[in-house]
Chains A and B, each alone.
Chain A
Amino acid sequence: MTQTSTPSTRLDTDDFLVVENLTVEFPTPDGPVRAVNDLSYSVGMGETLGIVGESGSGKSVSSMAVLGLHDMQRTKITGSIRVGGTEVIGLDESGMRKIRGNSAAMIFQDALAALHPFYRVGAQLAEAYVVHHPSASKRDARRRAIEMLDRVGIPQPDKRVDDFPHQFSGGMRQRAMIAMGLINDPSLLIADEPTTALDVTVQAQILDLLQDLQREFNSAVIIITHDLGVVAEMADEVLVMYAGRCVEYGACKELLTHPEMPYTWGLLSSIPDVSADTDARLIPIPGNPPSLLDPPSGCSFHPRCAHTDKVPGALCATTLPELLPGGRGASHLKRCHLANPDEIFARDVLAEIAPDLVEETP
């Protein structure tokens, strides 16, 4: 156990986005808030990373740091973020602008708030194109905007290009946002809760679209969400965040079928499933997320953890567990003191939340 908390085995030179030991701190009148703490992950071309966690766990803050969207004067960012080999932390605004919207783009949650209400959809799309293609004429940009609207499945794109955002429905606005994000063929796309405000049928359409586009452009995608169902269907790898730290990281299938951290268990047990056994219980995570102004000592999840009694002594309250491989291979990392989490999950947790699955697991 001489490894540091950096998952060095995972870092691959081919990865398009490499985040190492990222820490983001905001000064507030009540003291500094460390919204992201020692976070490391990487995403390769054509891969999808799902980041899961509650509000305030640092999901959005960490990915906004990738695009340099924080106020550089006030925010303290340390660590390293490399987008396609370029170090982003400390990069000046003009250098940042070359990356933003060009090789890395972001889709925001609330499309109505993210689109400008005074400008036509087509004009907003064309602007994103012209900024990164200075030699393009207005007509080229407009043609490109129509092409992108068509690509994301908006009917009659040559007419709708002159609509204002309020004339679009919720699903169409989200499509327009995706079109804007993809207009410069970015290699990295960060989707921050892309479907949270949408109906399930529209959500399915948008997720299909994202997946088709990823296949076509072979881009790296980060999906930030709190919906484990979305993660299960979209992501190759999953990172679970709690109170600014990564608490579990691994391949999607591995992590969701054999989670090793009580917080992930809590997330799984607190959402009902459309196909679950009706004898399955809905077990909430007690309490509320901690304040980052005054984070709990030791493991930040211990005040809400129902399994601290299985760890000897007061280890949970005193010592922060390292992010280390658990009992299931080097690529599945967890931050927890429990010695035999897989056993506890299969024996205690699964029996309550999915009684129908217990017999299947050996």
Chain B
Amino acid sequence: MTERDATRDELVPEEQTTLEPEPVLVPEVPSFDKLAEQSHTASELDLSRGSVLEVDNLKMYFPVKSGGLIRRKIGDVQAVDGISFEVPHGGSLGLVGESGCGKSTTGRLITRLYTPTGGRILFEDKDMAEMSNRELKPMRRQVQMIFQDPYTSLNPRHTVGSIIGAPLEVHNIVPKDKILPRVQELLEVVGLNPEHYNRYPNEFSGGQRQRIGIARALTLNPKLLVADEPVSALDVSIQAQVINLLQDIQKEFDVAFLFIAHDLAVVRHFCPEIAVMYLGKIVEIGDRDSIYSNAHHPYTQALLSAVPDIKQASIGGRRERIRLQGDVPSPINPPSGCRFRTRCPIAQEICAKHEPPLLQIGKRHKVACHFPGPIGHHPDTPVTAPLLGTDAYGSPDPGATPSPAITNKPGYDDTWFDLDAKTLGRA
């Protein structure tokens, strides 16, 4: 560090003279082959290194107050209601769902911008859920966030240098005179001109601003980045640039991502593992193949079938799709039993009485449905009934006891429920 700084001061004037004649508006375009080489294919899953974050039965209820003088609490918005998942070291988990399903709330809980109502957030085996602000400060270096809207998440009255340098100052990591070199290094990492540290956010385009937001999140060398819709505000042609940059960063700095997005195709490309949320609950979680080619939950199936497909152009017309009726119900007063049952094409009596457990049905595949199965092959009787100790209609069965296999813990077991044999065991 010191070595580089010593040489820098001498280098500055020289650098500026060489940079000046370069025309600004004509960027050098590499040939297509080179461009393709620099781009990434879909990310792979690496399980050898354990998890960096474990979320266990996390809950966030926002109180709803009555109007009038005495604002009594009259209910709760159950924004996140008992979710569990793991994020692997240097890997990424995608969180998808419709707006209002609680995916952004989850992101804000993990960065502890909210204090959870219940549950645990284990970051490298330390529970962040109960920590005080003072205890949290060192943890915040490890968990950083990239925001959705690059136009509102940067202070328009601060220069890029002070925006990216602020975390260094807050956490007192380097002496004041070392902040600028680090800022310039970061600008280079995210593909911006390091000489532009003195500019204001309004001098940059949307894609460049998002790069600034990414540089700010990287300043403290975090181990986990929560990316809340990092590309949805950008133009199509710029989205791919930013996704490739995030993949570069993941490889180079070994950062884990919790990637929150509603674009199923982008999540598929970026995340080897995906969790699908509906109304505050995880309805299906698994690796890429389980979710995208072998979804067992009717909501995941409907969501996937709703995505418009370019390949449809060669066939013409619109794809056959599962049409979901109506809107997402209110999280203040969610439906009893399974929360999806009001819009579910295969709902039966048991769905109104019992909430389906998140049942592991494959090596890395869990689904919360009484009738899990591929499209058109959902079972006729609820597979969960014997596990819950009920009959097929959800009434208590005196002869049966609830199975201990039903838990709500993060991660996957070595044994799972085999859908064909309807028993627990290895496949």
Contacts and interface: CB of A to CB of B under 8 A. Distances in A.
A225 B211 CA distance: 25
B173 interface: no
A276 to B, nearest CB: 8
A14 interface: no
B79 to A, nearest CB: 17
A122 B352 CA distance: 36
- Give the one of B41, B235, B240, B313 with max A CB within 10 A: B313
- Give the one of A211, A228, A268 with max B CB within 10 A: A228
B13 interface: no
Interface stretch (B14-22, B30-38, B49-57, B118-126): B30-38
B342 to A, nearest CB: 13
B314 A256 contact: yes
Contacts of B59: none
Contact of A303 (B27, B244, B317): B27
A303 B42 contact: no
Contact of A233 (B264, B269, B312): B312
Contact of A273 (B29, B235, B311, B326): B311
Interface stretch (A16-24, A61-69, A85-93, A278-286): A278-286
B25 interface: yes
A54 interface: yes
Interface stretch (A109-117, A129-137, A166-174): A166-174
Nearest to B269: A272
A296 to B, nearest CB: 8
Given A270-B239, A272-B266, A282-B39, A205 B323 contact: yes
Contacts of B239: 270-271, 284
A169 B330 CA distance: 11
Contacts of B26: 303
Nearest to A227: B308
A31 B288 CA distance: 51
Contact of B36 (A170, A211, A281, A308): A281
A234 to B, nearest CB: 8
A288 B317 CA distance: 33
Nearest to B308: A229
B99 A274 contact: no
A275 B304 CA distance: 10
Interface string B303-334: 11111111111101111010110110000000
Interface in A227-278: 227-234, 252-253, 255-257, 266-276, 278
Given A201-B306, A285-B240, A274 B265 contact: yes
B321 A204 contact: yes
Given A200-B307, A229-B309, A282-B243, A303 B25 contact: yes
B309 A305 contact: no
B65 interface: no
Interface string A196-227: 00011111110110010000000000000011
Contact of A207 (B33, B303, B318): B318
Given A155-B326, A289-B235, A199 B308 contact: no
B32 A349 contact: yes
Contacts of A231: 313
A273 B36 contact: no
A309 B32 CA distance: 9
- Give the one of A203, A257, A272, A286 with max B CB within 10 A: A272
A171 B326 CA distance: 9
Contacts of B42: 272, 278-280
Nearest to B245: A284
Nearest to B314: A257
Contacts of B99: 170, 199
A352 interface: yes
Contacts of A348: 32-33, 36
A204 B314 contact: no
B363 interface: no
B141 interface: no
B27 A271 contact: no
Contact of A54 (B36, B39, B237): B237
Contacts of A288: 205, 207-208, 238
A256 B321 CA distance: 21
B238 to A, nearest CB: 7
B268 interface: yes
A186 B1 CA distance: 68
Nearest to B293: A275
Contacts of B33: 348
B387 interface: no
Given A286-B35, A349-B32, A54 B310 contact: no
Contact of B240 (A202, A269, A287): A269
Nearest to B208: A288
A304 interface: yes
A55 interface: yes
A282 B269 contact: yes
B29 A281 contact: no
Interface string B232-261: 000111111101100000000000000000
A252 B310 contact: no
Contact of A280 (B41, B303, B305): B41
B29 A267 contact: no
A281 B264 contact: no
B265 A272 contact: yes
Contacts of A268: 310
B98 interface: yes
Nearest to B236: A226
Contact of B313 (A232, A279, A306): A232
A122 B397 CA distance: 52
- Give the one of A171, A204, A286, A294 with max B CB within 10 A: A204
B72 interface: no
A287 B236 contact: no
A193 to B, nearest CB: 12
B199 interface: no
A204 B310 contact: no
Contacts of A10: none
Closest 8 CB pairs of A and B: A229-B308, A270-B240, A284-B240, A256-B313, A272-B269, A232-B313, A204-B306, A285-B237
Given A226-B236, A272-B243, 15 more contacts: A228-B310, A232-B310, A232-B313, A234-B318, A256-B313, A269-B240, A273-B311, A274-B265, A274-B309, A285-B240, A285-B241, A303-B25, A305-B29, A306-B31, A352-B39
11 contacts: A205-B324, A228-B310, A232-B308, A234-B318, A255-B313, A257-B314, A270-B237, A275-B311, A278-B42, A281-B39, A284-B39
